[in-house]
Structure formats: C-alpha cells, structure tokens
A and B are shown apart, each in its own frame.
Chain A
Amino acid sequence: GAGVSQSPSNKVTEKGKDVELRCDPISGHTALYWYRQRLGQGLEFLIYFQGNSAPDKSGLPSDRFSAERTGESVSTLTIQRTQQEDSAVYLCASSARGRATEAFFGQGTRLTVV
C-alpha cells in the first residue's frame, strides 16, 4: 500500500506540555523504528519494535519519552513535559521481515517546543 505515514507533519507546543506523535507503517512490515534528528545532525535511534517481541528502548533519552505499538500496525511516540531541547524532527521507519536494513521512512514530524 502507501508509504509510511506520520502525523502531524508539524507540531508547535509549549514547554511542559505532553505531545503524541503517530506513525502508520507500511502494511505487513514487522519492524518499526523511531529516530530523532536535530537540525543539521544525523539520525539518533530512539526505539525499535519487531513483531510482538519486547521493544528495544535503549535509545530513549529519558523517562519522559515512551512509545507503543499495537501489534504490527500503528505506533505512537509520547513525549511528556516537553523541553526546548526536544525540538527536532521525529522520523519513523518500517521494514519487512528479512529485510531489516531496507527501511522505508516517513516524512517526519517537526516538533517545536516554545
């Protein structure tokens, strides 16, 4: 079907508020990744879901960050009590079983904390 879809595309929030970012992976893709990219920087791994296995949360920068995934479908990344340093583009990617290194990325959510 369609590619990886992320919403919203842009989000401006006040410091201290919670935000929820959504990712719809490609249908049938078992793996899902979240990354953070600050302006002019590379991608910073946040979390990885593979099927029904426990997620790899080793990249989450603090306990303000959490993510969930329903089966092999939609995922949400939640940032609580946002800080200005959370401002970045949040990218989601998915890949098919056996093709984990061929990830398809969404357009990202640009988060600005003011």
Chain B
Amino acid sequence: LAKTTQPISMDSYEGQEVNITCSHNNIATNDYITWYQQFPSQGPRFIIQGYKTKVTNEVASLFIPADRKSSTLSLPRVSLSDTAVYYCLVGDKNNAGNMLTFGGGTRLMVKP
C-alpha cells in the first residue's frame, strides 16, 4: 500500500504561489498521483493527476521527479477561495479499489 505523507497545514497570502509537497516512497509502477481539493461542507473534488514529469491544467500544476517518490502541487497566485484541504493520493487508475486512500491532507489557509 503506497502511503503518502504531506504537511498538516500551510498558510499563504493572496497572490502568492503555493507549493504543497507529498512524499510517496513506496509508489508502485502502475500508480498514478492524484490530488483532490475539499472545501468545508463539501465532498472532495479531483483537481489534477499525473504519472511523471509535469502536468498543468487550468487549476494547478503537478511536478513529479524522475524517481516518483514525491510530487509537488503548485497553485499559482492563490486567492481566498483556494482555502481548502488538499489531499495527495497514489493508486492504479485501472483498479484503485481501497487504494483510493485519503490521508489527513494539507489544510491551506489563504490570508488577505
């Protein structure tokens, strides 16, 4: 079971870039790295997924080094509305099963 480790909390200010790093030393060959965002009183929302190198979409960028033992979620120019909990997961996208395991996540607080 690929376990992930990420900081419990982070603070930032509006307009700054935020980088959240996740460690997954035991990641398997077939595992993808996926990040979710959860606002209070809502279910988590998929934001980005990658296998290696770099992935970018309209919400975030995901950087994955060659050894894939860690990954970094980058949120450009955050706003107050980016205050949320961010979860890093690893799993086989063809058969996640109970491997779709959410840890405690990183609680990001964006301040004005």
- Give the interface of A toward B (CB within 8 A): 4, 31, 33, 35, 41-43, 45, 48, 50, 56, 58-59, 91, 93, 95, 98-108
Spell out B's residues near A (CB within 8 Å): 32, 34, 41-46, 49, 87, 89, 91-98, 100-105
Given contacts A35-B102, A48-B97, contact A42 B43 (CB under 8 A): no
| A103 adjacent to B46 (CB under 8 Å) | yes
| Closest-CB distance, B85 to chain A (whole angstroms) | 8
What is the bound-complex CA distance between A104 and B43, given in angstroms?
A: 8
Closest approach, in angstroms, between the C-beta of A99 and any C-beta of chain B?
6
A9 to chain B, nearest CB (A): 10
Residues of chain B with a CB closer than 8 A to A50's CB: 95, 97
- A42-B87, A91-B43 in contact; A100/B105 too (CB < 8 A)? no
